[in-house]
Amino acid sequence: GCPIRFEGAASRAVFSRGPADAPVVVIGEAPGAEEDRAGRPFVGKAGRMLDRMLEAIGLNDRVFITNTVFWRPPGNRTPTPEEQLVCKPFVEQAIRLVRPTMLLLVGAPATRCLLDQTEGINRLHGRWFEWRTADGDLEVPALPTFHPAFLMRTPSAKAMAWADLKLFAERLNRPSRP
């Protein structure tokens, strides 16, 4: 039902990569050209940067990665809220099946979609939110941060992203209370 399936994608859906029992689900906005060709999210330059970011906090190979939409939008544009809404139940079901400890939302479009926020990423990054399934039976802490593609264009934001990642790792690695 997602209209961009027939507008921008080469041939296939780009759904996920990573283990289905990962403690963390990372959600971005949409596949780019390299992801469309490979059939896997975050495999281009931004994906390699994301992998380095996750490795820096000890999460390499411990994340399930997906996007708010599963087809590349035409011209690599940002997906519309309506397009994200069509895919949102599938994103929710993926989270429900993985049952992560935490969510890392990369970029404003993913943050707006998953948390129903209207503020920009500059105001939302580094703040904890509780993400809930539509029926309310699953609740997971979620932390928004900057998208790696944004960080490549705006190196001055890297320090803020690093602070977000340290905050994320600290909470993830915090001993659970009895």
Sequence-separated (6 or more) residues with CB below 8 Å from residue 157 = 146, 150, 151
Least confident of 8-12, 18-22, 25-29: 8-12
Q: What is the pLDDT of residue 13?
A: 87
Q: What does the alpha-carbon distance between residue 54 and residue 108 come to, in Å, rounded to a whole number?
A: 19
pTM of the model: 0.94
Q: What is the pLDDT of residue 8?
A: 57
Going by the DSSP 8-state scheme, the letter that residue 30 receives in this structure is -
Q: What is the pLDDT of residue 60?
A: 87
Q: What is the pLDDT of residue 6?
A: 64
DSSP lists the bridge partners of residue 64 as 25
Q: Quick one: average pLDDT of 36-61?
A: 94
Mind listing the pLDDT tens digit for each residue in 70-119? 999 988 899 999 999 999 999 999 999 999 999 999 999 999 999 999 99
Of 110 and 175, more confident = 110
Domain ranges (residues) in the chain: 3-171
Q: What does the alpha-carbon distance between residue 41 and residue 52 come to, in Å, rounded to a whole number?
A: 15
Q: What does the alpha-carbon distance between residue 28 and residue 21 come to, in Å, rounded to a whole number?
A: 19
Q: Quick one: average pLDDT of 46-57?
A: 96
Is the pLDDT at 9 greater than 60? The verdict is no
Domain spanning 3-171, CATH architecture: 3-Layer(aba) Sandwich (3.40)
